[in-house]
Amino acid sequence: MFNVLAPTLGSFIPPVAAGACVVAAGASCAYYATYAVRSQWLGAADWRGREDTSSVALTFDDGPGEDTARVLDALAAHGARATFFMVGRQAERNARTARRVAAEGHEVGNHSYTHPIYLYRSARETRRQLALAQGAIEGATEVRPRFARPPCGVRSPAYFRAARALELRTVQWSVAGFDWKPIGAREIARHVLKDARAGSIILLHDGDSEGKADRRETVAALPLIFEGLKERGLKVAPLSRLLGIGEAAAELR
């Protein structure tokens, strides 16, 4: 259904379709936005980084949670820096882990306070979600997020207004590990490596917005992903560097 709808209707997600998808997937994130994540219709959103590099960015959503420590261990073992789009409430609950994320040189982003689909929330609630998450993440990590990624990648006009007010840059993704599905580590790695190329922003998860799924398959996929990226001559870079923000991107070449 979405394969047909998304390209035909431009990239905005029709509420009816989105609603159907949310229902179809129960309360979990349906990821119907896979085809719409590149939309610039409602506001600017980065979905890939510089292509004149030999690097990709790894991003982890929905944490911090119980499995975040193991993700951090795997990143440390490969000397890689990633970006964690944290859910504010999770950052409060797991403040020590959140602090470790920042202390180990990873970047943090705003992934809302309780992981709602902004399309179904009022402008006031959307503003509240973003502001609360900023405070919670900064409180736990001592770093104020500069990036935001809306839950399930679903944006609304109110979301962009709120993000702009907080000077948050919206970052989607170009490659997904599909680790929200019940698939194993090899399959997750295969999804990532199939599409990874210079400039890719890769979506994975270190937590679950429902708080019920563990991320052991994602953790197990990481060594396979690092190995595959290396074979393709691709390095892992922090998101800000891949987007050409701040430090000189010359190091990427």
DSSP code for 237: -
Give min distance, CB of 18 to Zn ion, in A. Answer: 15
151 binding Zn ion? (CB under 5 A): yes
What is d(CA 75, CA 52) in angstroms, rounded to the nearest whole number? 24
Tell me the window of 59-67, 165-173, 195-203, 212-220 that interacts with Zn ion (CB under 5 A): 59-67
Give the CA angle between residues 224, 233, 44 to the nearest 5°.
90
Residue ranges in 195-224 that form contacts with Zn ion under rule CB under 5 A: 209
Going by their DSSP bridges, the two strands 235-236 and 83-86 should be labelled as unpaired
Which is closer to Zn ion, CB of 46 or CB of 179? 179
Q: What DSSP line would sit under 4-67, residue for residue?
A: HHHHHTTTPPPHHHHHHHHHHTTTS---GGGGTTT--SSS--B-B--SSSSEEEEEEES-SSTT
Pick the catalytic residue: 61, 179, 206, 208?
61
Closer to Zn ion by CB, 209 or 240: give it. 209
Query: In the annotation, is 205 catalytic?
Result: yes
CB of 38 to Zn ion, least distance (A): 18
Question: Pick the catalytic residue: 111, 115, 205, 208?
Answer: 205
Minimum distance from CB of 251 to Zn ion (Å)?
30
Is 61 an annotated catalytic residue?
Answer: yes
Name the burial class of residue 182, with classes exposed (0-12), middle (13-18) and buried (19+) by CB atoms within 10 angstroms of its CB. exposed
Asked whether the beta carbons of 62 and 115 are under 8 A apart, the reply is yes
The answer to whether residue 92 forms part of the interface with Zn ion (CB under 5 A) is: no
Nearer to Zn ion, 61 or 92 (CB): 61
**Of the two residues 46 and 206, which places its CB atom closer to Zn ion in the complex?**
206
62 binds Zn ion (CB under 5 A): yes
Number of neighbours of residue 78 by Cβ within 10 angstroms: 15
How many residues touch Zn ion under the rule CB under 5 A: the total is: 4
Catalytic residues: 61, 205
Instruction: Name the site residues for Zn ion (rule: CB under 5 A).
Output: 61-62, 151, 209
